[in-house]
Chains A and B, each alone.
Chain A
């Protein structure tokens, strides 16, 4: 049902006003989105037609599917397509089933053409004491020629890039003008606990039409990002994310470069002319997380950059996707990694590509030697679980076009040098005595499921011979779509107590150094990598599978591959109640989170 144009216009005017920080009309209650209704019913209880789903080839000019097929599932007279990889049939036993949650799309019938078109990210250079108004609002985004109602901060996707000096504190007045409750989490910052943005732990949800004032402190130089901490599985992919760059007072903190670029990697799951709806009551795609079939850089399907021959470009890379882990490279251009979440590495290193798990950040410097085009690509090895084969996938995300004119200044000499950062090693030195101590806490990562469709259970029970360290793509989108947080429970299990997820109630003393050992159980029903994020602190990955890490960097998010045992050393310096969770949005939505209390000295 569409709301009348006049009402839409009024809503649009109200939302525009919200961006200008004026009082606004309340956001109307969500109503079922036009054209897609009735994602209801219990998987496994549906009548099995026993017939294959109709499969339609996507026209060649609809690039995002890149040859993907659509398996249409009749439901209440509606076509409910879910993109399937090329050559992969939908399992007959799943045909006709739908997730056990009703559907949700932003805007609830608002005509996208009545909304302001999304704007590219602006740069908000702020200094200590400044104030920023940040409004989550509805915007119109056009993807593959189709206009959708989505979200943006201040009408921008990504939201404004907040650039501040280290140790600054700013005030952010957050206004929620979307149709869901929300908050803002300042990912990676060691700020005051009450401004961490976690509902029911540090603050109440900000209802549609409401506001909240954050004091955001930036104690560490690095690259950070902000995003909601309410239904991240919906609000993030719909556009609510932005970067924060915290500049060190040290002018030589990084090597000199010709350009700087902040790239936020995201993906969207779309059918030809529609976004695939989200679960209203709880996340769908709970097995693997929602893996989009349209890959985006800074909200666009093709990133473009112009450079001069010999230019050195520093890229700040942030993965804001719900579930996808990227493997990024620049068409063979020489690349070195210099920093990650909360600090520089002890030692810069040449790398062929950057593995970027959800919520992680890496800073790389790339030199484009010769005139021509360099493709920004995500290159991975997909596993077709149905065929039992690896299938290389290369997605071109953008192009760096290098002109014939020479870089000025020429930083080739500085680029050729791999720096060691003595300041980082000095900062870490007091913690080295703890590297080999026994773990203070142990977690096992696993999952449980109930009431999944029989075909899903049968397939996953026999597909156990091999697990990949990282599932780069969704190799079983039909099964994944039909799994919701009602059927799937992802688990952080405390080995010492057997407690799980929010029943874990760790208390550690401020100033203590906590060694946390995490084991990602490969024998779980669905082994998968997990990017584990700890709020409000910093940590070191001191070893992986018993092998000491010889090039340390302060992190807030660490990828735990399947079957791996990773030791994290947490500098518990910041008092408060802090969330520890998997940053695959659907895994967190299916329970995979716990709280660590850092009790004041």
Chain B
């Protein structure tokens, strides 16, 4: 209501809502900005990675991969039915080569706590699905982002490794 009174557009209001919702939650080391596909142009979102709880100082798998609780804050998602024969939005942790999709949980406008991410590098993808419990993705992608670890890049061809410095 206040945002309406100050004259912010619907899109701006949704963005502000995303930020406010994020600030209300626990702090996390990483936020993944989510990009909307053309089918949902008003959608916004952020996936916050929070270190999962553990008896130890940091939560990892037996082979040492970090485990994160994923909290999604989204806005502007239309009712899934508007995109076709769908009834829910589902979040997935996906390997960068799109080879492996792991279902994390359902996503709605507002805050959704989905499952734990534990791949070293991953894409975070939200799809519209006909079955909210689907273990395989079938519907269209509406939001997507990249884990910060995906930003690691090779420096071996950098001038540093050619003796420039």
Binding site for B on A (CB under 8 A): 48, 50-52, 89, 91-93, 327, 329, 337, 340, 345, 349, 351-357, 360, 362, 379-381, 383, 385-390, 392-394, 454-455, 458-459, 462-463, 465-470, 472, 522, 529, 531, 544-547, 549-551, 553, 558-565
Q: Which of A50, A349, A379 contacts B55 (CB 8 A)?
A: A349
Bound form: Cα–Cα A466–B49 in Å: 13
Task: For B66, give the chain A residue with the smallest CB separation.
Answer: A469
Contacts of B158 in A (CB 8 A): 462
Task: Provide 6 A-B residue pairs closer than 8 Å at the C-beta atoms, listed in order of the A residue.
Answer: A386-B156, A390-B120, A466-B151, A469-B58, A531-B57, A553-B55
Bound form: Cα–Cα A146–B165 in Å: 38
Instruction: Tell me the minimal C-beta distance from A193 to chain B in angstroms.
Output: 27
Task: For B52, give the chain A residue with the smallest CB separation.
Answer: A547
Task: For A522, give the chain B residue with the smallest CB separation.
Answer: B29
Contacts of B29 in A (CB 8 A): 467, 469, 522, 545, 561-564
Contacts of B56 in A (CB 8 A): 337, 351, 354-356, 362, 559
Task: For A350, give the chain B residue with the smallest CB separation.
Answer: B55
Check A329 against B57 for contact (C-beta < 8 Å): no
Check A355 against B57 for contact (C-beta < 8 Å): yes
Apart from the given pairs A562-B29, A564-B51, 14 other A-B contacts in the complex at a CB distance below 8 Å: A48-B163, A89-B161, A91-B160, A380-B63, A380-B64, A455-B160, A458-B160, A465-B152, A466-B151, A472-B64, A545-B27, A546-B26, A560-B57, A561-B51
Contacts of B57 in A (CB 8 A): 355, 357, 360, 529, 531, 558-561
Binding site for A on B (CB under 8 A): 25-30, 50-51, 53-58, 60-66, 120-121, 148-156, 158, 160-165
Task: For B120, give the chain A residue with the smallest CB separation.
Answer: A390
Contacts of B54 in A (CB 8 A): 355
Bound form: Cα–Cα A531–B57 in Å: 9
Task: For A93, give the chain B residue with the smallest CB separation.
Answer: B165
Bound form: Cα–Cα A462–B153 in Å: 10
Instruction: Tell me the minimal C-beta distance from B146 to chain A in angstroms.
Output: 10
Bound form: Cα–Cα A550–B54 in Å: 10
Instruction: Tell me the minimal C-beta distance from B57 to chain A in angstroms.
Output: 3
Check B160 against A355 for contact (C-beta < 8 Å): no
The 7 A-B pairs of least Cβ separation, nearest first, read A559-B57, A563-B29, A546-B26, A92-B163, A465-B151, A380-B64, A355-B56
Contacts of A89 in B (CB 8 A): 156, 161
Instruction: Tell me the minimal C-beta distance from B86 to chain A in angstroms.
Output: 32
* Centre residue among A93, A385, A392 by max chain B CB count within 10 A: A93
Q: Which of B26, B63, B161, B165 contacts A381 (CB 8 A)?
A: B63
Q: Which of B50, B62, B150, B161 contacts A352 (CB 8 A)?
A: B62
Check B165 against A458 for contact (C-beta < 8 Å): yes
Instruction: Tell me the minimal C-beta distance from A582 to chain B in angstroms.
Output: 13
Contacts of A565 in B (CB 8 A): 27
Bound form: Cα–Cα A335–B30 in Å: 30
Check B27 against A546 for contact (C-beta < 8 Å): yes
Q: Which of B55, B58, B152 contacts A561 (CB 8 A)?
A: B58
Contacts of B121 in A (CB 8 A): 390
Contacts of B165 in A (CB 8 A): 48, 93, 454-455, 458
Check B64 against A327 for contact (C-beta < 8 Å): yes
A387/B55 contact (C-beta < 8 A), A353-B60, A465-B148 known:
no
